[in-house]
Structure 1
C-alpha cells in the first residue's frame, strides 16, 4: 500500500459507494485519506409509472450514477481499491 501514496485511487466502501481521489495516507485497518475526493453512487429512480392494468412492479426503474465533490476525506474504510493513474512526476521523491 505504501507504494500507492500520491496515486489517484478509486476506493469502494463497504456500503457500495465509490470514492475517487489522491491517496495521502492509510492505516492497518485500511482506513484511507483521500484528497480532492469525488463520491459516486448508483441510485434507482422510477422512470414512468406503470400503465393502468399492468401487473404490479411493471414500472421501469432507471439506474443513475450521482457524483458529488467532497474534497479531503479522512477515515474511509475501504472494501476494494483500484489505482487509476500514477502520481504526477513532480510528486515523486
Structure 2
C-alpha cells in the first residue's frame, strides 16, 4: 500500500487525509465470498438477476457502485459506513 500511495502522490494525484484507497479484490473460495462483479458473474457467463428482473453481466457506464463494510466479533460491530461512486464513460478527447 505504501508503494501505491507513493506512486499516486509523486504523479500529482491529490491524496487527502481520509481518502479511501483499494488494492484489489479480496475474495474467498466459495460463491458467497466472491468480491468482484467479474467473479460474481463468472466472467460474464452467469448473469446476476437484479431486483427488477433484468440481468447484468458487467458494470456499465453511469452505474453507481455502493460499498458497505464492517467487522463483527463477540457482538461488537465496527463499520466504515458507505462509499459510493458513479462510473463515468471514458473521456474522449475532441
Answer whether TM exceeds 0.5 for this pair.
Answer: no
- Give the structure with the larger strand fraction: 1
Q: Which has the higher contact order (CA 8 A, sep 6+)?
A: 1
Q: Which has the larger radius of gyration?
A: 1
- Give the structure with the larger helix fraction: 2
